[in-house]
Amino acid sequence: MSEKIFNPLKHPVCLEFPLWLEETAWAGHIPFAMFITSAFRPRIFVELGTFRGASYCAFCQAVKSVKTETKCFAVDTWQGDAHAGQIEREVLVKLKDYHDPLYGDFSRLVESTFDEALDDFADGSIDLLHIDGFHTYEAVHHDFETWQPKMSTRGIVLFHDTTVRERDFGVWKFWDEVKQNRPFFEFLHSHGLGVLFVGEDLPEELQLLFAADKNQTAVIRKFFNSLGERIELAMNYQTQSKRVEELQKYEAIVKDSRLIQKYHALKKDGLGSLLKKPTE
């Protein structure tokens, strides 16, 4: 009998391109988000820290594509922090305008602190939790400890930024601790993504992922990194195009300003140009 091999292509939704792609450090993990949604079929998915919604909407897109009947919740204050910076109110308004018509029947954007949202979920109810809030060691430790009782016997927790060691990011340190004696998998691209099983009933569909040996791990990482790179390239192109468009608008405004008109007239005709009536 041939050995079973982890095959993400059994879940082709991982090849889908995201419909919602805002600037984010999470773009490279979108294919895995779509894969795990299809393979795991969580009953309840919660994301702590959503910001512009690129990661969250990828999960929602997979739920809708595969019809997993997952209930989804994005928890965020949409006010920002020392790492994300101050968030303008328009970010949430824009996200709602996209999210609500497409996913509002199974998904909710919860404007709240993480601690305040705890009472909205029963103990043992969450199958999949994505922790991507404030990235200090103390913050991620607190988020994990306070939300762990909410995890089901099938529970899987995702941690973003497991490879970032600059500024006061401490996810890497907590990840090194929390993965001890638990089934886990870690992606190293796009600032790192830790996948941790915290339950008791490991889903058969994901057993091969958590049991991957060194060679299989390398292949799995390369596969999802390659898919993620095309999304990152598209996001970078989209971001740069928007910036070029903004610069072109600013350039047009500057060229049309009367101050610039007077400058060019003065340069061309001297002080006598100031006696002329301005161009209407």
Q: What is the pLDDT of residue 89?
A: 84
Would residue 161 be called left, alpha or beta, if left means φ above 0 and alpha means ψ between -120 and 50 degrees? left
DSSP-H helix ranges across the chain: 30-40, 54-66, 89-103, 114-117, 137-147, 171-178, 204-210, 214-256, 258-269
Is a pLDDT exceeding 50 seen at residue 272?
A: yes
Nearest 10 degrees: CA dihedral of 120, 72, 132, 130? Answer: 100
Looking at residues 178-188, what average pLDDT do you find? Answer: 97
CA distances from 67 to 42, 43, 56, 254 (A): 11, 11, 16, 51
Residue pLDDT, tens place only, 63-104: 999 999 999 999 999 986 655 555 778 999 999 999 999 999
Q: What is the pLDDT of residue 43?
A: 98
Is a pLDDT exceeding 50 seen at residue 2?
A: no
Split at pLDDT 50, 70, 90, the class of 5 is confident
The residue whose two tokens read 């140009």 is 273
